[in-house]
Structure 1
Amino acid sequence: MNDKINNNFSVRFASLNDIPTILKFIKELAAYEKLENEVTATEDILREWIFEKNKCEVLIALENNTEIGYALFFHNFSTFLGKAGIYLEDLYITPNYRGLGYGKKLLKEVAKIAVERGCERLDWQCLDWNKSSIDFYLSLKAKEMKGWISYRLSHESLKEFACR
């Protein structure tokens, strides 16, 4: 990976005005992950959950004041450590800006936030077929969480289980 980052690269927290851009990036990421049919988010839903209910935070990556990617994250909690961590839900850089070190820089900003807030962990998931991302994460000395399997209740199965 080329770590030469343009001097005009910057990162800032998202604002309400960024909602259309965030949704655009979510859809682009979903298409890359071959999951576009699972996106049901709308601008109104993002406004409510990100900015009104404050359930997550978003960083916007820019080059020359043009939005080129985002990171969406929220706090989780480790009972073993007795401390909060940060869970990175999305890390995305648009295709034309990949391979320039921007993803690493954006991830580093999330890591700095975690350290500043006293968090002991930064967690995320990666699709098992995404070799370039896996190689990138391993190059950072991130550890694969072997022995852990992700589970999910969602949509109707979540509602059905909650009502039993």
Structure 2
Amino acid sequence: MSTLTFRDATEDDVALILEFIRKLADYEHRLDEVIATEDELRKWIFEKKQAEVIFALEDGKEIGFALFFLSFSTYISNVNLHLEDLFIDPEYRGKGYGKALLKKLAKIVVDRGYGRFEWTCLAWNKPSIDFYLSLGAKQKDWNVFHLTGDELRDLAND
């Protein structure tokens, strides 16, 4: 019988965090967009404490991760736990580990007194959307926008 446990990432895990980020990006057909480095992850996650990472472990082996950070909701005047990335290695899927990881994050939200647990999902990822809906999550009518690279610099310098 396999045992699922969780552990918080430490600074020694930076290479493993980047490995999981790349696995997720590959699954999302966006590996070419990953420019993250170990040094940048170390700086923003561990030195500046702008995000947190939890690993899911089966029998002591890291088989998945969640990376999250806080945002603020003016409507509820409280912070949100925003899940940026969640990934379970393909050979460990179908065992309830993704749901267990989401439950762990939900418990963090409740225990810390945050107001909301939120995340985004790619529109084409129907298996994940169906999974999230089965948990009681609601799709909101928001479109996500972002600026990066030249467009970001152009706006900043306009």
Q: TM-score range by the shorter chain?
A: over 0.9
* Alignment correspondent of 2:34: 39
Q: What secondary structure sits across from 1:89 in the alignment?
A: strand
Aligned amino acid, residue 15 of structure 1: T
- Name the CA distance, whole Å, in 2 between partners of 1:153 and 1:135: 28
Q: Runs of 4 or more off by more than 3 Å in structure 1? A: none
How many aligned positions are there? 158
Structure 1 unaligned regions, length at least 5: 1-5
Q: 2:133 aligns with which of 138, 145, 158?
A: 138
TM-score w.r.t. length of structure 2: 0.97
**Deviation at 1:7?**
4.9
Larger RCO (CA within 8 A; separation ≥ 6)? 1
**Identity, % of aligned positions:** 52
RMSD: 1.0
**Deviation at 1:30?**
0.2
Q: What secondary structure sits across from 2:13 in the alignment?
A: helix
**Deviation at 1:81?**
0.6
* Alignment correspondent of 2:54: 59
TM-score w.r.t. length of structure 1: 0.93
* Alignment correspondent of 2:75: 80
* Alignment correspondent of 1:16: 11
- Name the CA distance, whole Å, in 1 between partners of 2:136 and 2:59: 30
Aligned amino acid, residue 73 of structure 2: S
**Deviation at 1:92?**
0.5
Aligned amino acid, residue 119 of structure 1: Y
Q: What secondary structure sits across from 1:69 in the alignment?
A: strand
Structure 2 unaligned regions, length at least 5: none
- Name the CA distance, whole Å, in 2 between partners of 1:162 and 1:115: 37
